[in-house]
Chain A
Amino acid sequence: MNSLIELNNVSLYNKSGIRLKGINISINCGEKIALIGSSGAGKTTLLKLANGTIFPTHGEVRFNGLSISKLTHKQRLKIGTLWQDLRLIEELSVCQNINAGALGRHNVTWSIANLITGININECSKYLRAANLPVSFLGRNIRDLSSGQKQRVAISRLLIQRPEIILADEPLSNLDQFLANKILNTLLSVNTDSTINTAKTCIISVHQLDVLQNFTRVIGIRSGQVVIDCDTTDLKDIDLRNLYN
C-alpha cells in the first residue's frame, strides 16, 4: 500500500518537557484510524505534527514522500484538519466560513467576492446538508450558533476542501449520540451522498470506545508514546485497560 503520511522516529520537546517521544507511524491510503488515549496523552500534538502546524524536534514527518515543511499550497490542499477548537471565523457567516475551506482552489478575486457576499451557494448547501444542517443556516452568523452547530459548520468547511486525508481532533465531542454516528459516517465516507467526495483516509481522535468498530486501525497514545498500533480486530481489552490506567 502507498504511505500517505509517515512519522519517522518523531520526538517533540518543549519547555514543559517531552510531548512526544520516538513515534514511528505510517498511514496508508484508505486506512481509517482511531486515535485514542486519555486527555493530555499527546493526541492533539500528534495531529498537529501530521498536518504541519508544528515541526518535530527530532525525526521527520512526510506527506506523499515529501517533507511536511516543504509542501506547496496545492499539496497542502490534500490534508484536511478538523480542529478541536474548530477555528471558525466568528465575524463571518456560515456560508463564508464554509467557502474558506475552498480558498486553495481559487484566486484572490474569489476570496474578496466571498468576503463581500456569500458565494458558491450550491456547493455550500451540499456540504452543509452532508453535515446535517439545513440550508437555511447559510446566512446565519457563527456567533449565533450552538457549539454542536458550529462543529457541523467546521465539518462542512473540511468537506468542501475535498482532502485526500482527514485529521480530525475529537469531532464528536459536542454532539449527541445520534448526530455523532451520522457525522462519523460522513467523515468515514460511509452511507454518504455519492456527490460528496470524502477522503478515503482519515485519522480521528476519539474518546468514545464504542465507535472503534467503525475503524480499520487503532493507535493508542500514553504519555507521548505509541502503546497500541494494531488492526481494530486485533485490539484486546487488556490493551485498552493498560492505555487508560
Chain B
Amino acid sequence: MAVIIGNLHLGGLNTLFRFFISSFTPSLNSQVLQSAWNGLQVTFGFAILAWSLSLFLGVLLGLLGSYNLCSFFNISPVIATVIRRTLTVPRAIHEVLWGLLILQICGLSPWIALVAMTIPYTAHMARVFSEQIDNISLKELIAIKLTGSRNLESLITAITPKIIPIIATFGFYRLECAVRGATLLGIFGLGGIGTELQLSLMSLQFNQMWTSLWMLFISLFLLEKAIEWIQQPKFYINNTGVYTITFISSLIFSILISLLLLNYLGINFFEGLHFTPIHPPNFYRFIEAFKSLNWVQLILDTLILTFVASCIAIGLPPLIFMNVHSNIGQGIVSIILILLRLMPAPLVIILLLLSTTPSTSVVALALGLQNLGVLGRILRDNINKQGDQLFNSVLSTGATNSNAWLYGRFIQESISYLSYSIYRTDIILRETIVVGAVGGVGLGWQLQESLSSFAWEEVILISIVFVCITLIGESINEQMQKALLGIKRTNQFSMLKI
C-alpha cells in the first residue's frame, strides 16, 4: 500500500473519482445499451458453449481418470494415471494464455475463445470429478454388483445418484467461472462484454463503461441466484433420473440456443481459420532466448505477486467480518464483496494505473481484491449456516463481539476456510499470467512482450517455466491440504485383492 500511495498522482485521482461518480450515471443511450447488450449475449453464448462442452468432456475424463472405476471395470489403473498426468498441463495454463497462444497460430476466429476456455475447464473438471468419484463410498456399487447385475446397470443405479450432486454443485459453479473467463478473454480482444469494457475504459468513457459493468453485475448476480436455486437438494434427491435427463436436455438446448444466438449476432463459427505456420524452433535460438531473459527476476516477481495477492485475499475476510457486526455494515460488506468478485482484475489494474505507476504492489492489490471477493463470500456463507449456540456462549462470558466472532464462529470454519484458501492460491498463481500481462509484472508481462514480438522460443520457454511453477505450487498445496485435513487415500476395491 505504501508503494501505491507513494506513487499516487493527483491528476489520476481525479480520473478515478470520475470513474466512481459515473457509476451513478451510466449511459442510457440506446446505441450504447444495444452494444453492451450484444456484448453480454456474446459473452454468455461463449461461456455456455465452453461450459457445456467442458462439462461433458470433464465428466467423461473424470470417470476414466477414477482409480476406483478403473478397478471396477478391470481396466489397468495406468490409464487413470496417464489421463490425470496428461491433464495437469492444460489445467496449469490459464484460459487467457491459451487464447493468446491459439490467436497467434490461428488468427482471429470465434473458435479461439471457445477452445481457449474449453481446454483448461475440461482438465479442471476432470480432475475434480475423478477425485470426487474416488471419494464416493462404493459399498453400494459392490452390493448391487453382487446381486448379479452387470457392470453398466450397477454403475447407472449406484453411481449416478452420487455423481449428480457433485455436478450440481461444482459443475454449476464452473458456469460462473466460464462467464468471468469469457469476459476476461473479451478484455484481451476476443469480443463480448469484455471488449466493450476495455474500449470504453481506454477512451475514458466511464458512463459507457458503467452501462456494461452494471449489465454484467446484474446478469452475474441473477446467474448466481439461479444456480443457487438449481443446486437445491430437493430437486435431485429421489428424482435423480428426472434431474439428470432435465439437466442433459437443458445442456443440449443451451448449446443450440447459444449457437443460434451467436450466429444471429454475426459470429460465424464456420468461417475458415487462418493458420500462421510456426517454424520449428531452433535449438541455438532456444539457448539465446534462455540467456536473454532474466529468469530469476521474472520468477521472483511472479512468486511475490502470488504471495502478496494470497495474503490480501486470505487474510482480509476474517479481519473484516471480525470487526463488522451491525446489519448495515454487513450489508455494505456484502455489496462490496459482490463488486470485487465481479470486477475483472485486469480492469482494476488499468483503473489503478490511472493514478499510479505499474508495480508488483498494484497488480497484487487488484488480484488480491478480486479473490478477496470470492473467499469473503465463501466464509460468510459457511458462517451463516452455523448455529448461534457457541457464539452466544462465548459472548455470555463477557467477550467482545470481535472475540466472540473469532472463538464462537470462525474457529469452527477455520480448517475448511484454510483448506479452500490453499486451493485458491493455485488459482491466484494461474491468474498472475493474466494480470501480469496487463500490469507489467513477472512472467505474464514477459509473455505478452514475447508474443507481440513473435519470439516463439521465448514464448515456449516462458510457457514451460510457468507450467512447471504452477505444477510445483499445486503439488505443495495438495500436500498442505492433506496435512490440514488429515486425508488418507484408500482404494476401496483393494479389499477384493487381499
Contact = CB atoms under 8 A, between A and B. Distances in A.
A166 B147 CA distance: 11
A237 interface: no
A104 B148 contact: yes
B418 interface: no
Contacts of B150: 73, 103-104, 108
Contacts of A53: 142, 146, 495-496
B311 interface: no
Nearest to B236: A91
B240 A101 contact: no
B481 to A, nearest CB: 26
A7 B107 CA distance: 70
Interface residues of B, number: 33
Nearest to A142: B238
Nearest to B159: A89
Given A87-B140, A91-B165, A107-B153, A100 B158 contact: yes
Given A54-B495, A108-B156, A161 B236 contact: no
B156 A115 contact: yes
B153 A103 contact: yes
Nearest to A141: B238
Given A54-B498, A81-B143, A161-B148, A93 B157 contact: no
B148 A117 contact: no
Contacts of A101: 144, 147
B149 interface: yes
Contacts of B495: 53-54
Interface in A53-98: 53-55, 57, 73-81, 83, 85, 87-89, 91-93, 96
Interface stretch (B123-131, B241-249, B345-353, B362-370): B241-249
Contacts of A116: 241-242, 245
Contacts of A93: 238
Interface in A1-54: 12-14, 51-54
B152 interface: yes
B161 interface: yes
B153 A89 contact: no
B143 A76 contact: no
Contact of B144 (A100, A107, A108, A110): A100
A129 interface: no
A92 B498 contact: no
Nearest to B152: A108
B139 A85 contact: yes
A117 B242 contact: yes
B148 A92 contact: no
Contacts of B244: 115
Contacts of A55: 496-498
B148 A111 contact: no
Contact of B149 (A57, A73, A83, A113): A73
Contacts of B146: 51-53, 76, 79, 81
A80 B157 contact: no
Nearest to A75: B148
Contacts of A87: 139-140, 142-143
A53 B161 CA distance: 23
B81 interface: no
Interface residues of A, number: 49
A101 to B, nearest CB: 5
Given A107-B153, A116-B242, A117-B242, A76 B237 contact: no
Contacts of A157: 147
Contact of A114 (B152, B157, B165, B245): B157
B380 interface: no
A106 interface: yes
B432 interface: no
Contact of B157 (A73, A74, A115): A115
A238 interface: no
A91 B450 CA distance: 53
A175 to B, nearest CB: 20
B492 to A, nearest CB: 12
Which of B156, B164, B245 has the most chain A CB atoms inside 10 A of its CB? B156
B160 interface: yes
Nearest to A51: B146
Nearest to B245: A116
Interface in B253-303: none
B377 interface: no
A114 B244 CA distance: 13
A65 B259 CA distance: 60
B496 A54 contact: yes
Contacts of B496: 53-55
B160 to A, nearest CB: 6
Contact of B154 (A79, A81, A92, A103): A103
B424 interface: no
Nearest to B150: A73
A80 B242 CA distance: 30
Which of B153, B156, B158, B165 has the most chain A CB atoms inside 10 A of its CB? B153
Which of B150, B156, B160, B242 has the most chain A CB atoms inside 10 A of its CB? B150
A75 B241 CA distance: 29
Given A83-B143, A91-B165, A141-B238, A111 B157 contact: yes
A112 interface: yes
A57 B148 contact: no
A108 B153 contact: yes
Contact of A106 (B153, B158, B162, B242): B153
Contact of B241 (A104, A105, A110, A112): A112
A229 B496 CA distance: 27
A108 B154 CA distance: 9
Contacts of A112: 156, 241
Interface string B220-258: 000000000000000011101110110000000000000
A56 to B, nearest CB: 8
A74 B334 CA distance: 59
B246 to A, nearest CB: 10
Which of A14, A78, A87 has the most chain B CB atoms inside 10 A of its CB? A87
Which of B139, B160, B241, B245 has the most chain A CB atoms inside 10 A of its CB? B241
Which of B160, B161, B498 has the most chain A CB atoms inside 10 A of its CB? B498
Contacts of A105: 148
Given A116-B241, A116-B245, A103 B498 contact: no
15 contacts: A73-B150, A81-B147, A87-B143, A91-B164, A100-B149, A101-B144, A102-B147, A103-B154, A104-B150, A107-B153, A108-B156, A111-B152, A115-B156, A139-B238, A157-B147
The 6 A-B residue pairs with the shortest CB-CB distance in the complex, in nearest-first order: A77-B148, A104-B148, A116-B241, A91-B161, A103-B149, A115-B241
Given A101-B147, A111-B156, 11 more contacts: A14-B498, A53-B142, A53-B495, A78-B148, A87-B140, A87-B143, A102-B147, A115-B156, A115-B161, A115-B241, A157-B147
